[in-house]
Structure 1
């Protein structure tokens, strides 16, 4: 699995507290969705990595995914930033077009 981060998205990520939360985590959020297979692919920052996390190829920031959630993500991913929001895409589809900076940070609190 590979995550490419655009220059705009990387610029915005660098404005977040990466010194305290140095890992980017691909996460399938099922909270409030009713069922374990209904969810939204998203990202968050984290400072700890359990042993079941798998490394995702990325040149800018160490990126991980929980092995069991890998099936909900495409093999090739792109993280972009546009009009105040992060956007997670694959070549085939938009996975999550509405990831705010606040969501990225609030998930780590």
Structure 2
């Protein structure tokens, strides 16, 4: 799997990347969506690399995807920043057109139970 991060998206990610959570995670957010196949492809930062995370080929931010969630992303996925929001797309189409930008926030976007906020996810 390959993640292409546009120059603009890279600049914005660097601005909001928490020091304590340096890894970008492609995440298929199913919280509040019903069953496990209903969800929204999104991104989040994480501080830990779990054994089930697979590294994604890209530059400049170390990126991962949960092995079982990789099926919800295209083999070549692009992360862009358009009109103040992140956007995930592929050659087949847009995966998530509206991933909010956390303006001025450097708060960790983590996987903890207490704070399950993700970029574009719930």
What count of residue pairs does the alignment treat as equivalent?
Answer: 108
Residue 17 of structure 1: how far off its partner (Å): 3.1
Q: Which residue does 2:97 correspond to in 1?
A: 97
> Normalising by the residue count of structure 1, what TM-score does the alignment of the two structures yield?
0.92
Q: Which residue does 1:88 correspond to in 2?
A: 88
Q: Which residue does 2:77 correspond to in 1?
A: 77
CA distance in 2, matches of 1:106, 1:59: 21
Q: Deviations over 1:48-67 (max 9, x none)?
A: 11111000001111100010
CA distance in 1, matches of 2:101, 2:23: 15
Q: Is 1:38 the equivalent of 2:38?
A: yes
Q: Deviations over 1:16-63 (max 9, x none)?
A: 134221100000000111111011100001111111100000111110
Secondary structure at the aligned position of 2:32 is classed as coil
Give the aligned CA root-mean-square deviation in angstroms.
1.6
> Greater helix share, 1 or 2?
1
Residue 101 of structure 1: how far off its partner (Å): 2.2
| Gapped regions of structure 1 (runs ≥ 5) | none
> Normalising by the residue count of structure 2, what TM-score does the alignment of the two structures yield?
0.83
